[in-house]
Amino acid sequence: MTFSTAAAVAHPNIAFIKYWGNRDDEIRLPQNGSISMNLGDLTTRTMVTFDSSLPRDTFDLNGIRQSGAALQRVSQHLNLIRGIRGFSAPAHIFSESNFPTGAGLASSAAAFAALTVAAVRAAGIEMTEKDLSRLARRGSGSAARSIPAGFVEWFRGDTDTDSYAISIAPADHWDLVDCIVILDSNHKATGSTEGHRLAQTSPLQQARVKDCDHRLENCRDAIMHKDFDALARVIEIDSNLLHAVAMTSNPPVFYWLPATIEVMQAVVDWRLAGLPVAYTIDAGPNVHVICESGSISRVQEKLAALPGVQSLLSSKVGNGATLE
Ligand code: DP6
């Protein structure tokens, strides 16, 4: 390998049934399966160039040269790919996203999905979608779900071989929209990698995991039948369960702000009043409000009038990771 380059695009995803806690932190084998939809309007584009004349890996993210942990995590991921083909050429990685990193989105999902697809191609390796998903998982668990298109399920699996994600419905199956309510774009939360480690310390984690297959089934069915009410019920409970585990971990992690609870409460009130809308919250204070595309302007108008809302971002369902 002297010189070879490839580029790929990928989208972040929002989990309806969430990944929280690993059986194996090293290879990111999750304690439970998860379901998500890709966010097609939010995009990360990554170019990987292997070049044996480079002294070491370099990584530019949104125009800023990275060092330390960010560079190390990317280099480690490339080492897996270099290992498959048995070469050691350093790489230059150039990555840009069209969404703010402080939005509390799992930006590592889009980042590692795009990095995996670009680097595998640049290394001249042919891989199935399943194997790309397994490999992306090693960089960031949720990245496994940004490889396939549309609505996606990541199987827990028992080993590295069978823990991967597949598309359970294409992007155009259901015109859902994620309206992301930014309440704090500077929040320094406990990152998800640390959150996964802490999950085991909560006495509630076992109960959350034990009941997960049931929630996965309800969520899958709700998506298949486009049953918004059923989807709303299962995703709100699943999100609450993640936060109950975080709040009871040792040390405890509180991701919510007072405004987070105000948005959650408003969303539930609007649904009870007949507007199909539901919330889900990742490892941060911002709220993902899910609705059908027909109600997006009403939902946005109502959200913008709530206290503490800094800005709103929205996205339709998107495709999987693709080469450019
Ligand atoms: C709360 O995939 O970001 O968003 O594997 O350590 O990179 P790492 O964790 P990550 O965890 C995502 C956690 C979550 C829920 C989810 O997306 O399923």
Per-residue 3-state assignment (H helix, E strand, C coil) for 55-100: CCCEEEECCEECCHHHHHHHHHHHHHHHHHHCCCCCEEEEEEECCC
Tally of residues, the chain = 324
Q: What's residue 297's pLDDT?
A: 97
C-beta of 205 in contact with ligand 1 (< 6 A): no
Ramachandran angles phi, psi of 283, nearest 5°: -80, 65
Global pTM reads: 0.97
Q: Tell me, in angstroms, the distance from the centre of ligand 1 to residue 30's CA.
A: 10
* Rounded average pLDDT per 10-residue block, the chain, 324 residues: 93 98 97 98 98 97 94 98 97 94 75 98 98 98 98 98 98 98 81 95 98 98 98 98 98 96 98 98 95 98 96 96 97
Distance from Cα 96 to the centre of ligand 1, integer Å = 20
CB-based burial label for 294 (10 Å; 0-12, 13-18, 19+) = exposed
> For the chain, how big is the Rg over CA atoms in Å?
19
Give 155's DSSP letter.
-
Find out whether 116 and 135 touch, Cβ atoms under 8 Å: yes
pLDDT for 152 equals: 99
pLDDT score recorded for residue 103: 59
Task: Tell me, using a 6 A CB cutoff, whether residue 145 lines ligand 1.
Answer: no
Number of the ligand 1 atom closest to the C-alpha atom of 242: 1
| Nearest-angstrom CA–CA distance, 205 and 20 | 9
Alpha-carbon span 129 to 136, nearest angstrom: 10
